């Protein structure tokens, strides 16, 4: 996370291990119905840490709740994929290939932060455009095969309560 972005970490929201990809997907599925327009989740971590897996599971859950079955590809090359779940618009952005924060505005992502559910991979590319009310989830691998650790940086108690509700 860039040094100039100040995020309040809610003290009673500890790091959480996910024992498998399925456990990560279950958490995403539990969090999915708790989201609404204007909710932004910033997904951080190295390549292969689980960012896209989490986003895909969350989006597929939202779509399934609306009776929609749709492929959810990684937006690595398209930069942004959008979905409609019958209730809300969902944006999934992968900013890895961006070179300057000005490119974010060209994607329409700034407006989406207000009106849609947004999942953003590689959010460090946002620079000063990082939404202050976003939930930060940082995924990392552990020494245990298949296990991921998630660190949650919640800007407020509302986000913290939703994360706690979704955790097993």
Looking at residue 102, what is its pLDDT? 85
Looking at residue 10, what is its pLDDT? 55
The band of 100, judged by pLDDT with boundaries at 50, 70 and 90, is confident
Looking at residue 9, what is its pLDDT? 54
- In percent, the amount of the chain with pLDDT more than 90 equals 78
Give the predicted TM-score (pTM) of the model: 0.91
Looking at residue 6, what is its pLDDT? 45
**Which whole number is the average pLDDT over 139-164?**
93
Chain-wide mean pLDDT for the chain? 91
Looking at residue 12, what is its pLDDT? 65
**Which whole number is the average pLDDT over 142-168?**
93
Looking at residue 11, what is its pLDDT? 55
**Which whole number is the average pLDDT over 67-71?**
90
Q: Across the strands, what pairs with 94?
A: 121
Is the predicted pLDDT of residue 95 greater than 80, yes or no?
yes
Looking at residue 5, what is its pLDDT? 46
**Which whole number is the average pLDDT over 53-76?**
93
């Amino acid at each position: 996370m860039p040094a100039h972005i100040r995020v309040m970490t809610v003290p009673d929201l500890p790091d959480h291990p996910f024992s498998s990809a399925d456990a990560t997907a279950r958490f995403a599925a539990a969090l999915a119905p708790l989201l609404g327009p204007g909710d932004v989740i910033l997904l951080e971590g190295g390549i292969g840490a689980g960012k896209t897996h989490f986003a895909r599971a969350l989006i597929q859950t939202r779509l399934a709740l609306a009776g929609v079955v749709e492929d959810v590809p990684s937006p690595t090359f398209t930069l942004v994929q959008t979905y409609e779940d019958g209730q809300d618009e969902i944006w999934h952005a992968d900013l890895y290939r961006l070179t300057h924060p000005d490119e974010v505005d060209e994607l329409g992502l700034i407006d989406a932060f207000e009106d849609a559910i947004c999942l953003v991979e590689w959010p460090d590319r946002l620079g000063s455009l990082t939404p202050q009310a976003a939930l930060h989830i940082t995924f990392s691998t552990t020494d245990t095969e298949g296990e991921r650790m998630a660190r949650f940086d919640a800007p407020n108690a509302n986000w913290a309560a939703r994360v706690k509700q979704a955790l097993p």
